[in-house]
Chains A and B, each alone.
Chain A
Amino acid sequence: MDTSIWIVFFTGLTAGGLSCMAIQGGLLTSSLASQIETQVQVTRKKKKNQKINLPLAQPIFLFLIAKLVVYTLFGVLLGALGSVFDPTPQMRGGLQIAIAIFMLGNAMRLLNVHPIFRYFNFEPPTSLRRWIRRKAKGQENWFSPLLLGAMTVFIPCGVTQTMMALAVSTGSPVQGGLIMFAFTLGASPLFFLLTCLATKLGALMEKYFVRFVALALVIFAFLSLDSGLNILGFPYTISRLTNASRVNANTIPRIDDRANFPSVSVNATPEVSSDVVVYANNDGYYPYESLATAGVPITLRLKTNNTISCSRSFIIPSLNIKALLNATGEKIIEIPPQKAGTTLAYSCSMGMYTGVIKFQ
């Protein structure tokens, strides 16, 4: 097999599983929540002190199988489509925000805040329900995780998007399919373990179970909302404010900086320049805040060194600039002249890592 396929597999095994958890983990938790809730109720009715044995492995396994199949097929499609596939940051940002609303609504539903939140529960149409019920008598719970697993193709994390872009760039359906298969397969073990642990923990806290799941959903929802706003280039998000507070800490050489860039040291007071250098590390962009000369074209140098995280998928939403960085190297982006006082917000394509360029 092609060596690059193995690299893709190990990227999934290491970065992929963790990166996808924030959004997809939330969706799966929503799905499992209903099943576990039912199971807990049934067990309670049967015997008060009976230990709850949750069938967790099966739904997570089904979720991952569906994901693997659909992502592979999508990889084939991407390879075939080549450069035609090009979702805008606005589309991705909007989708992330919609997901956040969905999760918040589900959290409110679990907490029984108002009957209106019941409409956030996904329910297939009656005819489909009947078909499923008759096809899978006695195993009604398989449909939801299977469908959700397939649906995650619409909400890929940054690392996954990088792989999707890679699949597009091959221009070959076979290579595209292989890339997505290897990556999704690689990401599966970690995803399985993390989801299993998280949900088991929830079940152990049976008394507080609904509140625990609802809280998890609220956290995932805010992460998703934050990412969505970052992708849209909104300058006041929680992650941007947190990153901004890091600006002064940039003078201290970070351990992970040294791992990625042995020679990086960022000045306490960054110079105003028409030549801006930003390091795309595995854990984000450094420095968070760069200063650039107003009124003249700016050369933005994005540097990578063995970077495998989604910081490689770079966007400046307000200028509609998108770039896929090589794992190691330098990508030059020309930024047109900006007025003094302008702040250009950039992020990775999933809105997880952020930074700004201020023009003076």
Chain B
Amino acid sequence: MSTVKKTFRIPDMHCSACVMKLEGLEDDLPGVRMVQASYQKQSMVVEFDDGMVSEGEIRKAIRELGYTVEDR
């Protein structure tokens, strides 16, 4: 069990409302410790506990919010 830091590219962020929506994963997905999204860079940095949540689950959660997720 370790803390992993991963950066995803989110090419369809429209504004800062999208940023806040994506950063909400920090509260909604157990195991996610920190999310920092950037509309300007069209990316988000996620710090998570890989023993509690997998990268695949994070990707799925992002897609469920209505966004495309790509590797950076």
On A, residues with C-beta under 8 Å from B are 33-35, 37-38, 41-42, 45, 115, 118-119, 121-124, 126, 129-130, 132-134, 137, 140-141, 144
Scoring B residues 11 to 55 as 1 if CB is less than 8 Å from chain A, else 0, what string do you get? Answer: 000111111110110110000000010011010000000000000
A/B interface sample: 8 pairs, CB < 8 A? A42-B66, A115-B40, A115-B42, A122-B16, A126-B36, A129-B23, A140-B17, A141-B17
Q: How far is the CB of B38 from chain A (nearest CB, A)?
A: 8
On B, residues with C-beta under 8 Å from A are 14-21, 23-24, 26-27, 36, 39-40, 42, 66
Check if B14 sits within 8 Å of A34, measured CB to CB.
Answer: yes
Residues on the B chain within 8 Å of A126, using CB = 23, 36
Per DSSP, chain A at the interface is helix
Check if A140 sits within 8 Å of B20, measured CB to CB.
Answer: yes
With both beta carbons as reference points, the residue of chain B lying nearest to A38 in the complex is identified as B17
Check if B17 sits within 8 Å of A34, measured CB to CB.
Answer: yes
Q: How far is the CB of A339 from chain B (nearest CB, A)?
A: 51
With both beta carbons as reference points, the residue of chain A lying nearest to B15 in the complex is identified as A34
Check if B66 sits within 8 Å of A35, measured CB to CB.
Answer: no
Complex formed: what's the CA distance from A33 to B39 in Å?
15
Check if A45 sits within 8 Å of B26, measured CB to CB.
Answer: no
Residues on the B chain within 8 Å of A137, using CB = 27
With both beta carbons as reference points, the residue of chain B lying nearest to A129 in the complex is identified as B20
Question: With A41-B66, A42-B66, A126-B36 given, is the CB distance from A121 to B24 under 8 Å?
Answer: no
Check if B23 sits within 8 Å of A133, measured CB to CB.
Answer: yes
Known: A121-B39, A129-B23. 4 other contacts (CB 8 A): A38-B17, A121-B16, A122-B16, A123-B16
Residues on the A chain within 8 Å of B19, using CB = 123, 129
Check if A45 sits within 8 Å of B20, measured CB to CB.
Answer: no
User: Which of B21, B26, B39, B42 contacts A140, CB < 8 Å?
Assistant: B21
Check if B16 sits within 8 Å of A130, measured CB to CB.
Answer: no
Question: With A42-B66, A45-B66, A126-B36 given, is the CB distance from A121 to B15 under 8 Å?
Answer: yes
Question: With A41-B14, A140-B17, A144-B16 given, is the CB distance from A123 to B24 under 8 Å?
Answer: no
Complex formed: what's the CA distance from A140 to B36 in Å?
16
Highest count of chain A CB atoms <10 Å: which of B15, B16, B27, B39: B15
With both beta carbons as reference points, the residue of chain B lying nearest to A33 in the complex is identified as B15
Check if B15 sits within 8 Å of A119, measured CB to CB.
Answer: no
Complex formed: what's the CA distance from A268 to B14 in Å?
55
Residues on the B chain within 8 Å of A133, using CB = 20, 23-24, 27
Complex formed: what's the CA distance from A124 to B26 in Å?
17
Residues on the B chain within 8 Å of A34, using CB = 14-17
Residues on the A chain within 8 Å of B24, using CB = 133
Residues on the A chain within 8 Å of B16, using CB = 34, 121-124, 129, 144
Q: How far is the CB of A340 from chain B (nearest CB, A)?
A: 54
Question: With A118-B40, A126-B36 given, is the CB distance from A38 to B18 under 8 Å?
Answer: yes
